[in-house]
Amino acid sequence: ETGVTQTPRHLVMGMTNKKSLKCEQHLGHNAMYWYKQSAKKPLELMFVYSLEERVENNSVPSRFSPECPNSSHLFLHLHTLQPEDSALYLCASSQGSIITDTQYFGPGTRLTVL
Amino acid sequence: AQKITQTQPGMFVQEKEAVTLDCTYDTSDPSYGLFWYKQPSSGEMIFLIYQGSYDQQNATEGRYSLNFQKARKSANLVISASQLGDSAMYFCAMRDYGGATNKLIFGTGTLLAVQP
């Protein structure tokens, strides 16, 4: 059983489309994260939210726009993406953002940009 | 800068045998945390085990144990009595204390295949 859900699980979009990825955590956590996992590359942290405030933006292009309306929900809005943005996008949450907190991940959204 | 290295792109193990997945790390911070995650083909990253740099004993969680050798900066994952369901990618990760956030740095992973 996973406490972090992501929708959709698969998404195919053209470069001119606008779409959104959704993440929801049912663990009562205060921090949420977006990661990108490309083939043959380590996971890359994209954004961190703590108590609905963005605390880290890891030099992500502006075509990715995160939104955290409350501590249970996190969105990633996508527009005018490039084929190289095709990847698995993983959401995670943790109790807080202190050093001992374990992050729990969702199943990911596999994105293909045509 | 902190770095995680996993030198085994792929491993095979017979069912019911033990297997060790290697992980070395590099950091200048005296306080850090090390994690192992499992990623099946479904994509979800499943937390397995955590080791803090000041922990006196090696972490264990069921069939998983972490062989923590601080002087050698290694944190190998040992899976005992392998099962077919253990076939997956395994990632070693380290907490990055460079910023104020709970940032994990991941290795490139090891693909484990358990053979019947």
Burial label, A49 (beta-carbon count in 10 A; 0-12, 13-18, 19+): buried
Q: Which residue shows structure tokens 């907190």?
A: A101
Query: Which of A2 and A38 is assigned the larger pLDDT?
Result: A38
If you ran DSSP here, which 8-state letter would residue B99 be given? S
Q: Compute and round to an integer the Cα radius of gyration of chain A.
A: 13
Q: Which chain B residues are within 8 Å of A45, Cβ to Cβ? A: 103-104
* Tokens, residue A86: 């095709």
Is B47 close to A103, i.e. CB distance below 8 A?
A: yes
Is A97 close to B35, i.e. CB distance below 8 A?
A: no
Handedness of CA A92, A95, A98, A101 (dihedral sign): negative
Interval A44-55 mean pLDDT = 86
Q: Are B78 and A75 in contact (CB under 8 A)?
A: no
pLDDT band at B51 (very low <50, low <70, confident <90, very high): very high
Residue B52: in which H helix or E strand, if any?
strand B46-52
pLDDT for the residue B98: 62
pLDDT band at A2 (very low <50, low <70, confident <90, very high): low
Compute CA A85 distance to the chain's CA centroid, rounded to the nearest angstrom: 13
* Closest by Cβ to A97, choosing from B4, B91, B101: B101
pLDDT for the residue A39: 86
What's the CA gap between A91 and B64, in Å, rounded? Answer: 25
pLDDT tens track for B67-98 = 999 999 999 999 999 999 999 999 999 987 66
Is A41 close to B108, i.e. CB distance below 8 A?
A: yes
What's the CA gap between B101 and A108, in Å, rounded? Answer: 22
C-alpha distances in Å from residue A5, one per residue of A1, A20, A26, A75: 10, 14, 8, 12
pLDDT for the residue A58: 79
Mutant choice from B23, B91, B94, B101 vs A, greatest count of A C-beta within 10 A: B101
The chain A residues in contact with chain B (CB within 8 A) are: 2, 9, 31, 33, 40-43, 45, 48, 50, 55-56, 88, 90, 92, 94, 96-108, 110
A76 contacts: CB under 8 Å, gap ≥ 6: A20, A21, A23, A34, A46, A47, A64, A65, A66, A67, A89
Give the gap in angstroms from C-alpha A87 to the nearest C-alpha of chain B: 11
